[in-house]
Structure 1
Amino acid sequence: MPFLTVADVLRLPVIAAGLPRVAAGEGQLGRTVRWVHVTELLDPASFLEGGELVLTTGMPHPSDPTQLRGYVDQLADVGVAGLVVELGRRYQQAPPDLVAACRERDLPLIMLARGVRFIEVTQTVHALILDAQGELLRRAQHVHELFTSLTLRGAEPEEFVQTAADLTGCPVVLENLIHHAVVWAVAGRADGQVLDAWSRRSRTAETPGRAAVSGPEGWLVAPVEERSSRWGRLIMLPLAAGPPFGPEHTMILEQAATALTLARLTGSPEWDRRAHSSVLLDLLHWRYRSRTEARLRAEALGLPTTGHRLLPVVVDHAEAQVEDTTVADHLAKELHTSGVKALVGDLSGRRTGLLMALARASAWQPVVERIARDLRATFGEDAVIAVGPGVTELSQVTRSFREAEEVADAIGPASRSRPFHVASDVGLPELLYSLRDDVRVQKYVEQRLGRLVQHDARHGSDLLTALREYLDAAGNKSIAAKRVGLSRQAFYQRLHTIERLLGADLEAGAERTQLHVAVTALEVLHGVETN
């Protein structure tokens, strides 16, 4: 072991020879022994700094139980590792008042049935401690170089957190100021053990000025700064059946927290958005091992998943920024201001996703319309906002997100007059727009209309417009002729020419349907606005 604990010292031959027996504080034998101090003083606290194993014969101990309790309180308050009392001079057996006082403060009390040479104990233990301190220095240098190399190559926060977890074997969580778990590495424990009710549990642990144990669960907590102010904190969770945190755990967490602070100064600070994007993408493609894992990860980022309507929204946009604010950042800020709980992150360079948690009894349309109008006013009218059906189970979000993506894919420039779109807004033009890159659609258009388009190009005619108006008028020649500003006779002649060129019978309903699809597809492919 790199550090001596009270249990380690009790196994040393120099102590074992005294037949040590633990009379109190049995659960605290994993405390690190920083030094050994021999004292017969009644007020030794002024000479101690914490972490010492105190050796005494008990000769000056008071007989009064209150004074004896005060003596133990001094030791416990200063944080000694334990108290070792040699029997035979003052005590023949463990005094009940001393045992009771140590048990009350959960302070390890060890009674030595045989006498030992305290000088030999101090020499042996101090030699081992100095060796351990030297090993800690060498280890600290190695850890420092490791985190420095990660910082210099611009590592992402996930790498820093995972490295800290790998070095210690303990779960590590990076959270922001509002207690959302942004990055985590669970090490040997399951996500459920680490992230369950994360925000509530996290609020019970105070943030110390530097790495220290905090909270009822005994978390090791270190602050993460950003430009001289607190950004969040790095938290290491103890192993369920493992020893308490030692100096090496503290050193590693401090190094990791410092590296994360530097990373926020030198790299991309959008860690919250990255975390949201990761969870949204995992939901979109359902990469979770279970519904519980999905729920815990979403809730750890502040999204309530039970008792709410979950509404997926997809925003298609150019990779635009307004005053260095991205669409995702703008959305997150607006939703936070309006009190809407949501995950917001980029799904790709031109697509942002958000998953809102709304009250089941509330209407979602006003919320989405407000978001859509604000986005289009800020980032331009070309932004497409597509909404999937609301669901009540997180496992249903994948299907709903896919539907929202399909809607977003179908909304072309000619269909963007509405502030937002749902599946029922996808008609024939939108369907064909979503298939615009399909070679089969392109071949269909060429086979049906190629000769007509070529004729217009050669002769400067406008037969395609005449055909379009005729089809839009559902075969009513009078209405179509009026729309193109021709006499009925002149319009009829154009229709005959169209029939000859295309080898089609425009009086047949099936022919008109096929041509109408082809004309609509052609307009979609060429970006011609349909009405």
Structure 2
Amino acid sequence: MITVQDILEIPELDLRLLAGKASVSNPVRWVHISEVPDPTKWLKGGELLLTTGYSFAGDEADQVEQIKRLIDHNISGLGFGTGFSFDKVPAALVRVAEEYGFPLFEVPYHVPFLAISEAVASKIVNEQYSLLQRSLAVHEKLTKIVLEEKGLEAILSTLAALVGCSAVLFDFHGVVLCEAAYRRRLGADTVADLWRMIGDRRADRQNFALSMDGAGSSVQVYPVVASHRIGAFLAVVKDSGDFSEYDRIILHNVVTVTALELVKKKAVAETEKRLAGDFFDELIASDLYEEEIARRLAFFGLDAQLAHLIVLVDIDEGGGDVGERGEAAALDVKERLHWTVDEFMARRDVLSISASRSDSVVVLVQPGEADAAEVIRLAGELQGVVAEMLPEISVSIGIGRPHRQLTDLRQSYYEASYAIRIRRLKDERAVIASFDDLGSYGLLLGLQDTLSLEVFYDSVLGRLRDYDAQNSSDLVKSLASFLEANGHWGDAAEKLFVHRHTLRYRMKRVEEITGRDLGSSQDRMEFWLALKARELIDQSRKGKQTTA
């Protein structure tokens, strides 16, 4: 940055300061020569103006008005060439310039304005070249960090050392991803206050400054845009002084490489999620042998020799139903829920893998020495964290039993899923449900022989099944859709592509044929269990066909 003082100190120019000594640190953006009374329409501010005084030939009042106009337009300073219109700089100009702290200097007759312009241009070019070289060095340093996969911590530590600042990287929801400091680290309260201020403006893609009590200077905030959406916010507090142009170039480079790092992390995470999702799909469908399950667990860093269990985090319907939101908003909620669950498990050092399935997050947990009570307590903490991070929804958490036999992990999934379902059939929401909640129904769902399941299914839905077969009707299917929709007529009718009145008629026929009451939670539970028993029968037969 070139200042008026830098120009005054060029020996060969022989310039003499007459007024405004306190402001000689004003930056000079460029040099402009003008002899018109009002040159401000051609100026942007920050220029050093040179004149021979031709435009100041009027009386003293006109001279005062003209120089005040220049001062109001944020001109860096005025160089007045003597020996042309004036032998010396008018006293009125000197007086007003001193009064307003405006740099005013005399340019001797023998010094051409071109010499000043060339000197300033040379200094600006040299400074810009030096800045470019330093910027390239910073770019190479940061690029090397990314290529060597040193991570966000190394990027922010480099930023803190180069700029002399404290830096905090928040994700879009306010979780601190990383922080670094040069001399002094920001306190936890300051970081929390900082996010509260950022949160109010997080939809803005522009950089902005904040002022807060806990910071020594203004806080610069930079949104980090990755994959066309804001992925994080970089907040930077300089230890002392203001941010220089070089500091801002460093920050721009840091934001760029941080975005690259976040995109890379997202790509890796999405690949792992896809692989985890495929694993859960095949596990639940009984498409994997013991050896293959062990190989997959080892790939995800889990010990196949230890017991594992399934934790199911499922979004409750009603009072924040994801289905009532737009598609993009619903997808965002599900992504945030998955991220929250993963982050919770990581912070608690719980070995696990997870995947999204519909409105749920399925987590395979390696509990280690933790007993059932400890796992339930952990689930309660997770539910509280989800409530804090996603207040617009509520979730129920189901916990299956731990199994050492890897092929039985599928059973743990159904235990967790059915435990939630049983509680919901009793019109309960936001529950922590486990195998113990199944009660006597746990015996049914734990049955491994198809014959026993067939007996139960026939006792509850046998007559309905036979009626469908004889009349080419879909009463069993309609009942299943009605129960899956938690008794919501509109949702179930839409899924079946029928009118609500048609569905109501079908449910009345179900009650007449089975002799049961859909208004009874006990009967709804048994209907639902019978349908699940049918699923287990079909899956068992599918497994036998695969083996054959």
TM-score, normalisation: structure 2: 0.44
TM-score, normalisation: structure 1: 0.45
The structure with more helix, counted as a fraction of residues: 2
